[in-house]
Amino acid sequence: MDVETFLSFNWFVMIPEFIILGFAAALSVIDLFLNRRKSRKWLGVCGLLGIVLAFISLLLLESNGTVILYDTFVFDSFAKSFKALLLIGTAVVFILVLNENWDGLDEKRGEFYYLFLTALLGAMFMASSRDLITLFIGLELLSLSTYILVGIRTKNKKANEASIKYFINGAIATAITLFGMSYLYGMTGTTSLDTMKLVLANVNEPDHLYILALSFLIMFIGLSFKIATVPFHMWAPDVYEGAQISVTAFLSVISKTAGFILILRLFLTVFDVIQVNPSETMLTALQSFLVVLSALTMIIGNTVALKQKNIKRMFAYSAIAHAGYILVAFSSFSNVFYFDTIWFYLFAYLLMNLGAFAVIQFVCGEARTDNISAFAGLIKRSPYAALAMTIFILSLAGIPGTVGFIAKISIFLSALTANTPQLLLAVVMIGTTIISYIYYFGILTQIYFREHETYHKIYISKSIFIVLFICIAGTLVFGIFPNTIYPLFYI
């Protein structure tokens, strides 16, 4: 690439990524030369400032489908709306990090902050990728950063176990995904999704279609590890339990969002143009596989959560169940509700899940235990935290008046309005949602009807209060006026 070609690219569409990269690099250099005894907390404030600046620059950019770097990077409405989700979620997680108890590990805070930024950068690149290579690089940048974040407490046995399990499962998932991608490259001779789409639109040989179907199944299995769907979910409970609460919150929201971004970009671009027969594409031909995966994920995620006493493990299985709900929207292929339904559900999940993790961090940090009994008598010890957790639980359960209800009803309607109505998925979704009431309301039982050993007042810190205010406001306002947030999807 010569200088003239390099300068001809419209680099302005990458300003949010450049800001995140610049802050991550600056924080890593500052942390390297900063005295070990100095507090690193202010580095987190700088990282949060970088995320805010990146978000502002994102809103100022026009999503006109600009393509640069030889069709490998695109800035369209899909990329803009999902990047907005990633930036908002990471900003909320950063506020949680600023409040986290480090137990003498303050010298590691610096790398903690810029690892979050590099993980965010990888996810943002995935949102704009139109090439297998850039998709894979973004995925690995996200994955490698989170592997380290999970195991950053090197003297904690649970963190060590979680990090090893996460790394091994992640490495296997990456290898499987890359193996599936190799079939696509072998069939088309290109890594560009747009060029690949043109080549595959003319494929009609039965042997070639078989290879492409195999590629679909292999890649989806690999990516199922990333979004923690059944039966590729077994790493999630141990990782959620062993990681810092802020890291667990990041994995449950940002990492899951990034996984669905990759699935939407890759599978809808490539496999929806391959004609298996005159009336259906390969994506619709393999719909039954997605339906079964979605149903199993909802059923197992919710039923296993019933037996959990550790609050982080319970939310791990809850996250698995919510991945199943999103798969309902993905596998329905509804013409009326699709991208906006998935985006809105991820946005709703961001608000209610990060809000719940903020309360978990506050309550479990005070009690020094992750057992659900830590919430006993919370209404007397901290009424505001109890009220906040109640709102988030009701939203996660899908009770009317909350953003969770609007998100679930949108997915339910997407299943019913599909070209082939997915009645089975709709029934399973209703049934598993009712099952989820048992363990969700079990937390409320602890808060309102169980006695605690002590009744000393516990007070919410400023950073936790900010997170709770943002998440409660979003949960209630967008639950009552959901149309006010949809324009962000079309910016």
Is pLDDT above 60 for 490? Answer: no
The dihedral through the CA atoms of 54, 60, 65, 69 has a sign that is negative
Given this model, what pLDDT does residue 108 score? 60
Tokens representing residue 351 in the block:
């608000």
Of the candidate ranges 168-182, 297-311, 339-353, 473-487, the one whose mean pLDDT is the lowest: 473-487
Is pLDDT above 70 for 491? Answer: no
**Tens-digit pLDDT profile for residues 268-316:** 888 888 888 877 888 888 888 889 999 999 999 999 999 989 999 999 9
**Tens-digit pLDDT profile for residues 103-146:** 555 556 678 788 999 999 999 999 988 889 999 999 999 999 99
Tokens representing residue 14 in the block:
């990458």
Rounding to the nearest 10 degrees, give the CA dihedral for residues 50, 52, 54, 57: -140
Given this model, what pLDDT does residue 39 score? 67
Q: Is the distance from CB of 439 to CB of 308 less than 8 angstroms?
A: yes
Given this model, what pLDDT does residue 124 score? 92
- Which of 373, 384, 347, 301 minimizes the C-alpha distance to 475? 347
Is pLDDT above 80 for 486? Answer: no
Given this model, what pLDDT does residue 373 score? 86
**Tens-digit pLDDT profile for residues 245-261:** 888 999 999 999 999 99
Mean pLDDT over 161-175 rounds to: 89
Tokens representing residue 54 in the block:
């990146």
Given this model, what pLDDT does residue 154 score? 75
d(CA 282, CA 233): 26
Residue 281 bridge partners (DSSP): 275
d(CA 116, CA 119): 5
Kindly provide the b/e burial profile for residues 19-33, where b requires at least 16 CB atoms within 10 angstroms of the residue's own CB: bbbebbebbbeebee
d(CA 13, CA 451): 55
**pLDDT band with cut points at 50, 70 and 90 for residue 340:** confident
How far apart, in Å, are the Cα atoms of 421 and each of 95, 152, 287, 323, 425?
42, 46, 12, 20, 9
**Tens-digit pLDDT profile for residues 202-237:** 888 888 888 999 999 999 999 988 888 888 888 889
Residue 280 bridge partners (DSSP): 277
**pLDDT band with cut points at 50, 70 and 90 for residue 52:** very high
Given this model, what pLDDT does residue 218 score? 92
- The DSSP annotation for 216-230 comes to HHHHHHHHHHHHT-T
pTM recorded for the entire structure: 0.91
Percent of the chain with pLDDT over 70: 93
For the chain, report the end-to-end CA distance as a whole number of angstroms.
Answer: 33
Of the candidate ranges 318-322, 379-383, 441-445, 483-487, the one whose mean pLDDT is the lowest: 483-487
**pLDDT band with cut points at 50, 70 and 90 for residue 3:** low
Is pLDDT above 80 for 8? Answer: no
* Angle 265-266-272 from CA coordinates, rounded to 5°: 100
Domain ranges across the chain: 286-491
Mean pLDDT of all residues in the chain? 86
Higher pLDDT, 169 or 455: 169
- The DSSP annotation for 20-85 comes to HHHHHHHHHHHHHHS-TTS--HHHHHHHHHHHHHHHHHHHHS--S-EEETTTTEEE-HHHHHHHHH
- Which of 255, 259, 330 minimizes the C-alpha distance to 289? 330
Given this model, what pLDDT does residue 454 score? 67
Of the candidate ranges 147-151, 175-179, 422-426, 484-488, the one whose mean pLDDT is the lowest: 484-488
Q: Can you tell me which residue has the tokens 């900003």?
A: 91
